[in-house]
Chains A and B, each alone.
Chain A
Amino acid sequence: MKAIVMDDSRVVRMMLRRTLEELSFEVTDFPDADSGYAWLQHGGQADLALVDWNMPGMTGLEFIQRVRQEGAHDQMFLVMVTSETAPERMQLALDSGADEYVMKPVVPSGLRSKLEMLGFRWSDA
């Protein structure tokens, strides 16, 4: 399984990478949504994308809107990982095409439980 991570915080990227790798994902990470988006445009494929909301350049919300509008990665699950905690923001992200929404701070068991909701399973479960 392949995952991409977009977050402007190096610490968050490392934490998410480590958590996903423990869940057997092959991870590619990006410091912003623009470079993650460009990677997808150039043929990159992933089963899962974790994207922060607030980043320099393209926001996570714009990333989700664009990817969903283009329809070339419909099989890819999009998960917003953000410090935005208002239910209205959450609803906006979901209505824009996010499959799930995780509020920071992220803990590994919480992320895993969100991925289980999307249908990901691990044999030790």
Chain B
Amino acid sequence: MTAPSVDAVELAWLRGYLAGRTGVVVPDDRPDFLSGRLGAVLRAHRLDGIKQLAEEIRGGNRVVLGAAIDALTTHETSFFRDPDVWAWLELEGLPALVAGAAGREFTAWSAACSTGQEPLSLAMLLAERWPGLAFRVAATDISPGTIERARTGMYPVLEVNRGLPARRLARWFVRTGLEYRVQPELLARVHYTVHSLLDRGGPAGPFDLVMLRNVLIYLGEHDREQAFRNLAMAVRPGGIVVLGTAEMLIEPPAGLFTRARASKTSWLVRT
């Protein structure tokens, strides 16, 4: 038997430390996942290896820490991801919520918004279906680099090809060089901030709708419960939380939400 290498020791430390910061738990049996993701950080910041990366983070280098968080948190997303969920929102979910918000501003929160496809999809839908509606979409992500990109409102062809109906692309985007820029009036409806679901505070609510999709599955049980408790404080009674399609079996702590279902989707209603 050989002693674990320095890198293995440092990786284990990073795994624990980043799990504490992000809630993302990388299983012990997936060291390649962690070192693969962090490899990009090493190259980008010209670090000499995992050991130096760990030292920078321990030394308080926030730039490197931010980059490591960026690398570790998954960013897979697309405009109108999961068409069944959006169809339900358009035809049933939003009409009821918007009617309930008559006489005041409609508020939504895209939690873990990645590079902005989800909050922009929601803003497009609201602006198209309810012209003149006063609404605001808060959008947060744990990763500073991701929020910085989202704020530019710029998307490469590959992104606008995915999930975004051509009619919406033609209506809401202008081409700038090789990329597409979302119209400023739409971008202005979305308010981006860096925020962790495990922290209290967060964007100013209360919200009629929170979309939190494909995040809780990456969290451990304790963090999941904390995220639910933080969410419960942000959602207006009668307001709803939409989770990811793979997350329908996740049960929130008792007393905060009730579950409702339609044919192909389910959501949580704040009690």
Contact = CB atoms under 8 A, between A and B. Distances in A.
B169 A90 contact: yes
A50 interface: no
Interface size class of A (residues with CB under 8 A): 20 to 34
Contact of A113 (B78, B157, B169, B175): B78
Nearest to A106: B161
Contacts of A105: 157-158
B171 to A, nearest CB: 8
A100 interface: yes
Query: Which secondary structure dominates where chain B touches chain A?
Result: mixed
Interface string A77-108: 00000000111101101100010111101110
Interface in B144-185: 157-158, 160-163, 165-167, 169-170, 173-175, 180
Nearest to A111: B161
Main secondary structure of the interface of A (DSSP, over half): helix
Contacts of B180: 87
B78 to A, nearest CB: 7
A110 B161 contact: yes
B165 A100 contact: yes
Nearest to B83: A116
Interface of A: 85-88, 90-91, 93-94, 98, 100-103, 105-107, 109-110, 113-114, 116-117
7 contacts: A87-B170, A87-B174, A90-B169, A100-B166, A101-B169, A103-B157, A117-B80
